[in-house]
Structure formats: C-alpha cells, structure tokens
C-alpha cells in the first residue's frame, strides 16, 4: 500500500514507525517549522525528525486551501492517508483523495473527549478508563465511524505525560493491527459513534494552570496530574509562586479558609480546599527544578511549624 502519513508531535511518532515498518510510506506531512526556545530558532517537529531519519520525503504546507497543495497530495497516488495529531483541518476534498480515505488515531474512547486534549481532560475529569480509537475521518470534528478501538485503565496517580506515552504506544498497536487487516484484504467494519455520551476536550490553556483553592481537593489533585508536564499547575502559597508537580487529596474536614497552609512537613504541604485538603508532595520554585516538599522546607524554615 502507498501510505501518506500526517502528524506533528511526539504522540504521532510511534504511529509513523508502525506505518513504515511493513508498508510503503511515500510521504510525510507535518506542520511548518516553528520558532522555539529562548533563541526562537526554527525547530523541527518530532514527526519531521523521525521522517528525515528514515529518509522519507517531508511536505509542510501551511494548509490545504490551495489547489497546489491538493494536487501535490493527489500526485502521490495514496491508497491511504493516516492522520495522527496533525494539527490542521483537512477539507472533504482532501479526505476524498486516497483510495481508502483517511484514518485518524485519536486518544480517547469516542464519542467521549472529541477534540484537542483528550488525554488531559480524561484525567482532569477523574475518568478511570480511556483508550485509543482508529476512525475513518469525515468532515466533522472527530465524528467519524470507528474502525478499531482499545481501552486501558488510568492509574490513580498517573500524570498526563505518563498516560500520553502509554496511549501513543497503544495507538501504534491499533494502527498496526488495522493496517495488517487492510493489507490482507480485510477491511474493518466502521461503526458509527453513538449519539449519547459526546464530550469535548477543549485545547489546554496556560490560564487554566492556576489552582483554585475553593474547589474540592480531589478535583485539584486531578488537575495537577492532568497538567503535568504542561501547562503544570501553579499556585501562590506562603507568599511564593510555586509550580505543583505532584499532589494527593486528603479526605479531611477543616474549618480554615481555602488556600490556608494547614501543615508543612516531610510528607508534604497540606493546603485547605473548598472540600478536603490537598497535600503537595513535589513542587518547583521560580527558576528552580522539581523537588520534594521535604527539600523545599530545608529552604523555608519559617514554614516548618505551620
């Protein structure tokens, strides 16, 4: 099969490897190089780096609005377009070009968590389970029928970064299984998504990072996990802005105002919430690195009796 692959971030790299392992990837689409870092130098996307390592042709159109970009794709004579976190909207005229249409690997159990940030939103909502769906793409946002899916349990302390890596590997496996079927002449049956249970995983915003102490401790603990490694939860505590890398909720009653530091010890910093207490275990000071609460208190003797 002649496969064209479209993807951009780290999440898509295992799928590119799976597609290239036993099939002919004739080209790789990824977003244009963007300025990054303090020097604002142009940076290659993870997918572009992987494609170049494999000697695969790379195309980086700004969009598919022009006839030139569509003609370039058509000239590749693709049997299938595999899309994984590409980051560009594909119009119907593009979806119609490949012989078998376009497949998309999505990191949720559709129709729950359609949209840009399904991994983080699942953790933030306290979901116990998530997974990967391979769907036949159509014009709507993640509305296409599902070809193959696989579920997995979310660990009680699992972070967004950890779940990201597990789902990336699972996505590659699901894609490989479905490509194997197609290669054998077996086309998986596409099952329409149910109308019930639709939720949207809106794009993460840095403004969401600030912890709202009036919220229940359980919700804040989920937020801390979901936003690690980005945008990373943050809070002002004891007069200092801190980034919170790890925390757990304590089912503890208190009469303190939300945001009050109740205790500070080697096990963590215990902060009063709207309901319960959030124990901060791993944190980061401005300009520093992530450290345990015990190490933090070595430099904050004023808090040890809090």
Binding residues for (6S)-5,6,7,8-tetrahydrofolate: 108-111
Q: Which of 66, 71, 138, 142 is nearest to 101 (CA)?
A: 138
Q: Which of 182, 118, 106 is nearest to 145 (CA)?
A: 106
> Residue 45 is encoded by which pair of tokens?
């996307």
CB 111 within 8 A of CB 90: no
Residue 27: its H or E element: strand 24-29
- Burial-class residue 43 by CB neighbours within 10 Å (0-12, 13-18, 19+): middle
> DSSP string spanning 210-241?
B--TTSBHHHHHHHHHHTTTTT-EEEEETTEE
Backbone angles phi, psi at 107, to 5 degrees: -90, 60
Annotated binding site: 108-111
């Amino acid at each position: 099969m002649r496969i064209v692959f479209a993807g951009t971030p780290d999440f898509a790299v295992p799928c590119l490897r799976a597609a290239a392992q036993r099939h002919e990837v004739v080209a790789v689409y990824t977003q244009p190089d963007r300025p990054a870092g303090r020097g604002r130098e142009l940076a290659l996307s993870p997918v572009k780096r992987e494609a170049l390592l494999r000697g695969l042709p790379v195309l980086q159109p700004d969009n598919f609005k022009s006839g030139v970009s569509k003609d370039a794709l058509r000239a590749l004579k693709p049997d299938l377009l595999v899309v994984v976190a590409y980051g560009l909207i594909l119009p119907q005229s593009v979806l119609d070009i490949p012989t078998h249409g376009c497949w998309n690997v999505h990191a949720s159990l559709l129709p729950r968590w359609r949209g840009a940030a399904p991994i983080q939103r699942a953790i933030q909502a306290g979901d116990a389970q998530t997974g990967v769906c391979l769907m036949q793409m159509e014009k709507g946002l993640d509305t296409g029928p599902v070809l193959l899916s696989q579920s997995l349990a979310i660990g009680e302390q699992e972070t967004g970064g950890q779940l990201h890596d597990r789902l990336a590997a699972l996505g590659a496996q699901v894609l490989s299984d479905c490509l194997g079927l197609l290669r054998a002449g077996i086309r998986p049956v596409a099952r329409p998504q149910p109308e019930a249970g639709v939720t949207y995983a809106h794009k993460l915003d840095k403004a969401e990072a600030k912890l709202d102490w009036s919220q229940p401790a359980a919700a804040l603990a989920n937020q801390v996990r979901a936003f690690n490694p980005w945008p990373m939860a943050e809070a002002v505590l004891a007069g200092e802005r801190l980034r919170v890398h790890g925390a757990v909720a304590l089912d503890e009653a208190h009469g303190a105002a939300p945001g009050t530091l109740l205790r500070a010890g080697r096990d963590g910093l215990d902060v009063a919430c709207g309901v319960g207490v959030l124990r901060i275990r791993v944190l980061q000071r401005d300009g520093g690195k992530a450290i345990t609460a015990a190490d933090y208190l070595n430099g904050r003797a004023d808090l040890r009796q809090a």
